[in-house]
Amino acid sequence: MPHSLLPEDPDFATRVRRSFDAQQVMHTLGASLQRVEPGEIAIVLPFASHLTQQHDYLHAGVVATIADSACGYAAMTLTPPGLDVLTVEYKINLLAPAQGETFVAVGSVLRRGRLLTVCRGDVLATSNGREKAVATIQATIITLERELATRARAPA
């Protein structure tokens, strides 16, 4: 494993799982963590009709949400204890209509920096045992002290 992908927190997986469990949007969508490894996260989302758009495809906003979270948590696996992450930007390409039985967003760290980490995410749809890429994302994640990350969401 490259030095840049070594976790600074030996308990990173517990911290990531605790944070994920506190993220209400993941509960709302029905998403769960499938895999937590240094520099890589997989989030699984079963198909649900209430998450579709008018053509019965999974809504692009839902696809982007699981891809963004996979990237953020991939970055978080490498942060020291007491630090947190927030997305500062991302660009997503929707490659195909999101239709399938399950969707897996795999986020991985491309380059880790002290302040900014660049991640890539891929969303795969599975239907009848076959996988198809439906989206890819590149995200920039900022590392902040937990207090600053929490304060960023407080009203001004």
Closest CA relative to residue 45, chosen from 17, 22, 65: 65
Can you list the pairs that 125-130 forms with residues at least 24 positions away whose Cβ atoms lie under 8 Å? Answer: 125/58, 125/96, 125/98, 125/99, 125/100, 126/100, 126/101, 126/102, 127/99, 127/100, 127/101, 128/101
pLDDT above 70: residue 95 = yes
* Contact call for residues 133 and 123 (beta carbons, < 8 A): yes
d(C-alpha 48, C-alpha 149), whole Å:
31
What tens digit of pLDDT does each residue of 35-91 get? Answer: 999 999 999 999 999 999 999 999 999 999 999 999 999 999 999 998 999 999 999
pLDDT above 60: residue 9 = yes
Domains delineated in the chain: 3-149 (3.10.129.10)
What tens digit of pLDDT does each residue of 111-137 get? Answer: 999 999 999 999 999 999 999 999 999
* pLDDT tier, 6 (very low <50, low <70, confident <90, very high otherwise): confident
